[in-house]
Structure 1
């Protein structure tokens, strides 16, 4: 896999957004809200795929 230079500000913003959406997804599971779960599950997977395709970084 090729290595890419990553600007810290861009990566920091993505990870911050990922953490926020994961938190909201966990809140959806706690409240048993299917609307929140469906929406944030898509958002979390979108950010994971973006980080992997663009930078080769796997978010967990």
Structure 2
């Protein structure tokens, strides 16, 4: 029995199987929309210890 997941872009129910070449997305379109969002920096992975800004004079 295939696992059913929600497409991260549109929310459509999608089978998580090898025959779905766009998984976890439902289509090439949703996959490209997500890629574009990453390229436009709409998503970010938070850093555990972000590097200090060398131009920041507020704390040192």
Q: Do both share a fold (TM > 0.5)?
A: no
Q: Which one has a bigger Cα radius of gyration?
A: 2
| RCO higher in structure (CA 8 A, sep ≥6) | 1
**Between Structure 1 and Structure 2, which shows a larger proportion of strand residues?**
2
**Between Structure 1 and Structure 2, which shows a larger proportion of helix residues?**
1
